[in-house]
Structure 1
Amino acid sequence: MVSKPRSEWSTLLSHLVLAAVSLHAAVSSVQSSRGAAAGFLLQTFAAMAMLAPGLNTHEDCLAGAWVATVIGLPLLAFDFHWVNGDRSSANLLLGGGMVLAVAGDHLGPEGCSVAGQAVLLVVAVTILIVAVFTANTYGMWGGAILGVAGLLSRLEQDKLMLLPKEDVCRWALAAGSWAYCRALQTQRPQWE
């Protein structure tokens, strides 16, 4: 009986932290990067939707997480590539996310899960690569943390570190979002 309330508190707290970190990142980056701010804002709305009464059904969770993953995360990567002059990779990531968002109804639950995890890993790796070449420490940490979140989501276990796997992934996504926000703030002055 004790583990069920702990699990509910863990889920509630992970959604709150992800929403707060993403909202702060969106507000912090809106002046320098509207694309990244929009990506952070999509993460905020997806996390907050789970906190609203009546909207926390399984379908709503999947739809919100799907949009935040296939559109929001490529928007974050878009800015890292765009600022460094890699316009084709930036457009390819964003275009691929848009195509996946439209095709989501045709993929089925397992296909959406695999595609979402693939987007998460592709975004993490591409930002990590840009961060390594620009010596952006926060970007490196953000890429590594987001990559870990993507790999953890593929595990078969329901619990990690005594918490539900989804909660651990949300904590990692919140930490990665904070690091990406800091990476954007440190990257912008180098190129302006």
Structure 2
Amino acid sequence: MVPKPGGEWSSVLSHLALGVVSLHAAVSSVQSSRGAAAGFLLQALAAATTLAPGLGTHEDCLAGAWVATVIGLPLLAFDFHWVNGDRSSANLLLGGGMVLAVAGDHLGPEGCSVAGQAVLLVVAVTILIVAVFTGNTYGMWGGAMLGAAGLLSRLEEDRLLLLPKEDICRWALAAGSWAYSWALHTQRLQWE
């Protein structure tokens, strides 16, 4: 169910945190990385459509979250790989995300869930690998938090630490996005 203002506060706060962090990251990275800025903006828009009353149906919100996952997250990783000279991985991640976005209608709900979690984990692992080899501490934290969100989403339990599992995942995504935006900034400073 889509959270409504005045509804469960943990859901509203987690959507708000993810939206604000993603929007700030998009604005701060637009000059140096248009791809990452677009990825952050997709995350912010997906969080906003879930919060805003009358902006869309539950299916529209799920579609927005799907696009933010399969296109937005590969866009984030694209720039990280591209700047480090790993253009084949950058193109492969982005191309795979585009194919999944188009094929989403044919996968069904369970297939979309598995594909979204796989994209999240692949992006997290590739960011983590590049960050380890380049010594980018923020990238390591960002990759670890994105990976934690992906792994937490695979758990069977509906609640973790007295909060809904989806809220914990959004908090982890927000922390990962914050760290990843700093990783991009640090990476750009190293290359200048």
Does TM-score exceed 0.5, indicating one fold?
A: yes
Identify the residue that residue 101 of structure 2 maps to in structure 1.
101
CA distance in 2, matches of 1:47, 1:181: 17
Match runs of 1:153-172 below 5 Å: 153-172=153-172
How many residues were matched structurally?
A: 188
Identify the residue that residue 91 of structure 1 maps to in structure 2.
91
Identify the residue that residue 68 of structure 1 maps to in structure 2.
68
Q: Determine helix, strand or coil for the equivalent of 1:50.
A: helix
Identify the residue that residue 50 of structure 1 maps to in structure 2.
50
Identify the residue that residue 23 of structure 1 maps to in structure 2.
23
Aligned partner letter, 1:118: A
List runs of 5+ in structure 1 lacking aligned partners: none
CA distance in 1, matches of 2:178, 2:35: 16
List runs of 5+ in structure 2 lacking aligned partners: none
Q: What's the RMSD between the two structures over aligned residues?
A: 1.3
Aligned partner letter, 1:41: L
Q: CA deviation at 1:92?
A: 0.4
Identify the residue that residue 79 of structure 1 maps to in structure 2.
79
TM-score where L is the length of structure 2: 0.95
Q: Determine helix, strand or coil for the equivalent of 2:31.
A: coil
Q: CA deviation at 1:58?
A: 2.9
TM-score where L is the length of structure 1: 0.95
1:89-140: CA deviations, max 9, x gaps? 0000000000000000000000000000000000000000000000000000
CA gap 1:164/1:6 in 2 versus in 1, 3 angstroms: farther
CA contact (8 A) 1:7 1:163 kept: no
CA distance in 1, matches of 2:60, 2:47: 11
Aligned partner letter, 1:112: C
Q: CA deviation at 1:190?
A: 1.0
Aligned partner letter, 2:157: Q
Identify the residue that residue 149 of structure 2 maps to in structure 1.
149
Q: CA deviation at 1:54?
A: 2.2
CA distance in 1, matches of 2:189, 2:14: 32
Q: CA deviation at 1:52?
A: 1.2
Identify the residue that residue 114 of structure 2 maps to in structure 1.
114
How many percent identity over aligned positions? 87
Q: CA deviation at 1:64?
A: 1.1
